[in-house]
Amino acid sequence: MRSDVMKSGRQRAGHRSLLKALGLGDEEISKPIVGIAGSANSIVPGHIHLESINRAVAEGLIAGGCTPVIFNTIGVCDGLTMGHAGMKYSLPSREIISYTVEIMVQAHALDGVVLVPNCDKIIPGMLMAAARLKVPAALVSGGPMLAGICGDEKLDLVRVMEYAANDSLSDEDLKEIEDLACPTAGCCAGLFTANSMNCLSEALGIALPGNGTVPAVESGRIRLARETGKAVAHMVKEGRTVEPIFSEKAFRNALAVDMAIGGSTNSLLHLPAIAREAGIKLDLGEIDRICWQTPNLCRIAPSGGSKFHMEDLHRAGGIPAVLGELAEIGAVDLDVPTVAGKTLSELVGSARSLNIQVIRTANEPFSPKGGLAVLRGSLAPEGAVVKDAAMGEKMRSHRGPARVFDSEEDAIAAIRGGKINKGDVIIIRYEGPKGGPGMREMLLPTATIAGMGLADEVLLITDGRFSGGTRGGAVGHVSPEAAAGGPIAFVEEGDPIQIDVDSRRLDILVDEKEIDARRSAWAGPPRKELKGVLAVYEKLVESASTGAILRTDD
């Protein structure tokens, strides 16, 4: 056992005395000691119930012959940080969470770890740690929130933000929507970043079936947590680690599922970052190749409006059904190991769509191409990403004048002030990993645009990123970013910008000599007085095209 270095032998009597101070007896100390990396807190709706998940995991570990110990990481609610400086801390928290799990597992020589996240950057942060540590590990999330209901409409967080931008709606009606939109614990009800990553964890084989879709408030979530504890106990006893699970095939499977369900563009930051910790390189070229080869089978909110949410995906068969449909056309390779000790093929079995309105068959998809797309061109030489499945037809191929803003706040003021016209191309720059720093999500601008009825009339391009809840003409992760001297830094008001999603192009239609002249005259990014974690992050973070990882080689 890894934990023997902490607890075994005469020289470790003092160590055992400390463990006994926890209430553990000799029998418990003699067993494998497995950590539960929790993230329960009382400010994030997706995490407020996670203590019950921790307890169920502990029960599963005990049943499997292990001794559980619980510790917590931090957790940021992206919804609560939207539209202000707090969002700068969200993406950096991913790295801190990763290091927190690593520190606790390594410092205490734990024999394994069960990861219990639910929202936003907590999931990829924990998975990055698991890939780096190469110990027995599995992930079980807290599950999605149920959608709210107001009259005949299903609601979620994004719909509230969109309604808030509709000036024709009375304060009383808005309050009714606000009161009903988020009715339960869990991560927000649409296929936003948290739910995307929890679903992709199933495709990676690091989580059991149902992890991404069993609602937070259903008893099945507790059973899933207990079974995950048992699974890690078996991994410890059998000497299995995550190393063979985090394979190239597994990451390709996850990318294929991402394209099939039309997940959050943030997954194209997180999957490369997790893969890097496993010694695997995922570049945007590989990601786009998989996009072209994978049909889009689902249109879960925000894609296709707000008709279907996570509970609908669950009832239609969840991720096993999506994998089953993709396997029918050879788009995934299910002969890969999982934390259950079975192959992904054995876990999926004969699962197929139970509702073809929610999960289309691979032979009759919503689109023959995946729900995400990677664009390149003179405005984004290293790439940019768009949630194709949530984009209206009009902006897929568009040419319009640039409206340039050097911060999210300036852009929001212009949008709300009626200064944006149909056909405009809004450029929000200096919001990338270095430029922010922290690469803020631009949900408030896109929700405001949608709420004003302009989602299909304007294009928004940024070196920042978007919430998984964003819909409309929204292109993010433009690389190189403005702060690194990318072409987006040299766009001027009125410059013609052209996008063609089907051709995978994003261009500034300005003569190259003029761009070179602007580059020569550029004084560099705006100076910002930084302290603490943001100062460190700004110095170490790399391009969004690499997953916004931290540079550690020098």
Q: Cite the beta strand spans of 33-117 per DSSP E.
A: 33-38, 67-72, 112-115
Residue 248 burial (10 A CB sphere; 0-12, 13-18, 19+): middle
Would strands 380-386 and 373-377 be described as parallel, antiparallel, or unpaired?
Answer: antiparallel
Spatial contact of 369 and 388, defined as CB atoms under 8 Å apart: yes
At residue 469, the pLDDT reads 83
Residue stretches of the chain with pLDDT short of 50: none
What are the CA-CA distances from residue 374 to residues 62, 193, 266, 378, 382 (Å)? 46, 17, 13, 14, 10
pTM here is 0.96
At residue 554, the pLDDT reads 59
At residue 304, the pLDDT reads 74
Q: Domain coordinates of the chain in residue numbers?
A: 31-173+189-348, 373-546
At residue 421, the pLDDT reads 94
Active-site hit among 467, 479, 543, 545? 467
d(CA 266, CA 246): 19
Same fold, 31-173+189-348 and 373-546: no
Range 31-173+189-348 has CATH code 3.40.50.2300: yes
467 is catalytic: yes
pLDDT, tens digit (0-9, with 9 covering 90-100), for 420-447 = 999 999 999 999 999 999 999 998 999 9
Spatial contact of 430 and 407, defined as CB atoms under 8 Å apart: yes
The CATH number of the structural domain formed by 373-546 is 3.50.30.80
Token couple for 404: 């340039």
pLDDT, tens digit (0-9, with 9 covering 90-100), for 178-236 = 999 999 999 999 999 999 999 999 999 999 999 999 999 999 999 999 999 999 999 99
